[in-house]
Amino acid sequence: MYYFASDIHLGAGDRQTAARVERRFVAWLDAAAVDAECIFLLGDVFDFWFEYRRVVPRGFVRALAKIAELTERGVKVVFLTGNHDMWVRDYFCAECGMEVLTRPAERELYGRRVLLAHGDNMNIAGQPVLRLMNAMFRSRVLRVLFSWGVHPDLAMKFGQWWSGKSRKSHGAYTADVRCTEPLVEYAREYSEAHEGVDTFVFGHMHVPRDFREGRLHVVSLGEWEHDPTYAVMSPDGEITLKRFES
């Protein structure tokens, strides 16, 4: 079985909320590991992550310890970075045993060609401001300058402020599937241009959706504070959305 989750946003909210979400995520990892061939984490696992050469953010020890335990037991865990946790080096790989991907990836899973992506930079050609922000945040030069010029304490403070501002700008949590339409449109165009790719799994929008149109199958994952929704792919190639009841 293949498992998919995204947008856990570890560290978000007040201390009680952050602890509750982390406990829920760890419990899910334990449950998934029973029969998982691989667990795919599709971005924004952390509400903010900036990794220096010798310094990493404080916290998340239960989640990171659980992932390290699973990979040592032979459970494969693939982490695909999101817009809140793209600033990685080698910590997750060296210390936790995860495979880390920084770009959308095609994978052959149970005979189906599946595109995996966080979803934050999909179908944004008509949004120049967002395109500029994506380019800036993904700039290796800017990341190096930031790590050289900003003390880790200040970096973490800035990151927590920025992440909180980003959440507030989206307003109160509402499960409106219309926000996933850009992902569906991107999947249509990608499927037409890449023969054999008709299954897509995205995060980012925080709204679970199972969209089917002919052979096209687009799965949007949920967030984990209000609606901990994940997906599982069975050996017959079928992907199903499920809600984790902890």
Torsional sign, CA 13, 17, 22, 24: negative
172, pLDDT greater than 50: no
Q: Considering the entire predicted model, what is its pTM? A: 0.89
Provide the pLDDT confidence category of residue 150 given band limits of 50, 70 and 90. Answer: confident
Q: What pLDDT does residue 116 have?
A: 98
Q: What pLDDT does residue 171 have?
A: 45
Task: Give me the mean pLDDT over the 162-175 stretch.
Answer: 57
85, pLDDT greater than 50: yes
Mind listing the pLDDT tens digit for each residue in 201-211? 999 999 999 99
What are the backbone dihedrals phi and psi of residue 85, each rounded to the nearest 5 degrees, phi first? Answer: -140, 40
Residue 123: domain span: 2-243
Average pLDDT, the chain: 87
Q: What pLDDT does residue 237 have?
A: 92
- Domain of 40, CATH number, reads 3.60.21.10
Mind listing the pLDDT tens digit for each residue in 25-35? 999 999 999 99
118, pLDDT greater than 90: yes
Which range, of 78-82, 141-145, 196-200, averages the lowest pLDDT? 141-145
Calpha distance 108→113 (Å, rounded): 5
Pairing between strand 38-41 and 99-101? unpaired
Tell me the two tokens of residue 25: 């995520």
Q: What pLDDT does residue 132 have?
A: 54
- Number of domains comprising the chain: 1
